[in-house]
Amino acid sequence: RSSAQAFLRFLGFVFWATAAAQAFGGVLVILMFKNYRYLFQESYLSLPGWLAIAAALILLPTGILAVSISIKSSRNQQGIFMYLLLLLLCLETSSAVLAHVYSLRTASQLESAMVYLVYQHNGSCSQPGSRAVDVMQRKLQCCGVHNYTDWLKATASSWHLTAHVPESCCKEKYSHCRGHLSHLEQLSQQGCLKKLEDQLWFVMLYVFWCCTVLSILELLAAVSNGILMRHQPFHDIQFL
């Protein structure tokens, strides 16, 4: 029993620490799909992030209960603690599964969406799609889908006639860059697809493993609480 109490107290502090990591992962997912919403049209793709944030908020009172139970066992607290662990397991499992499924689904659609926006770019910031491409290229310091030559194939603009690419392809340190191909050293050489795919996989894998590890810890917390409950059976709590 003393070992279960000590372990439960330890898990309570771990829950507090991991709540911040869980919330951080959820915010990353939401911002990822918000910043590149023209590439990811489905609004539900940010659902794993919202589930992760909800789980992070529930982890805080769960951690408090874990520490409280380890110090002085209370029948009511033990029951509420079990309910919260069950809720957390549902949220963590759903978030992990959705993060894995959505990462595979969006990766297959990303290239076609990016090619479409590049080919429809008209060089004007007034078009939302064109503005989204420029923002993406500046943020990721990339150019084109695979590399800068994708702009030479674009049919919706005159990039191939004037031998230059959008100024958003310019590296930050070259303030006078205008995207001319005669100065390739001033342009980002890597395409945006690879960089965005890497960012997507990192964010989704972060949420997936964070939820998986927390699910295991929550199961261990349930076992520890169960051991304590055996020494203090619930005789007078009817709702259980």
Give the pLDDT confidence score for residue 96 in this predicted structure: 92
* Whether the predicted model's global pTM rises above the 0.75 cut: yes
Query: Distances in Å between the alpha carbon of 136 and those of 27, 79, 173, 213?
Result: 19, 49, 17, 32
Cα angle, residue 177 at apex, residues 185 and 158 outer, rounded to 5°? 95
45 found inside a domain: yes
Within-domain flag for 174: yes
173 is a domain residue:
yes
101 lies in a domain?
Answer: yes
Phi/psi zone of residue 102: left (φ > 0), alpha (ψ -120 to 50 degrees), beta? alpha
Mean pLDDT for 4-13 is 87
Q: Is residue 37 domain-resident?
A: yes
Give pLDDT, residue 237: 47
Per residue, the 3-state secondary structure of 166-228, as one string, reads: CHHHECCCCCCCCCEHHHHHHECCCCHHHHHHHHHHHHHHHHHHHHHHHHHHHHHHHHHHHHH
Least confident of 120-134, 139-153, 154-168, 169-183: 154-168
Q: Within a domain: residue 240?
A: no
| Residue in 132, 93, 126 with CA at minimum distance from that of residue 214 | 93
Domain count, the chain: 1
124 membership: H or E segment, kind and range: none
Residue type, 118: V
Q: Who contacts 75 (Cβ-Cβ below 8 Å, separation ≥6)?
A: 232, 234, 236, 237
d(CA 114, CA 173) in angstroms, rounded, equals: 26
Report d(CA 142, CA 66) in Å as an integer. 47
Q: Which pLDDT value is given to residue 50?
A: 94
C-alpha 29/C-alpha 107 separation (Å) is: 14
Residue 238 belongs to some domain of the structure: no
- Rounded to whole angstroms, the maximal C-alpha distance in the chain is 83
pLDDT above 90 as % of the chain: 28
- Residue 129: domain span: 1-231
Tell me what pLDDT residue 240 has.
46
pLDDT at 160 over 60: no
How far is it, in rounded angstroms, from Cα 4 to Cα 97? Answer: 30
Specify if 239 maps to a domain: no
In tens, the pLDDT along 22-70 reads 999 999 999 988 888 777 767 778 899 999 999 999 999 999 998 888 7
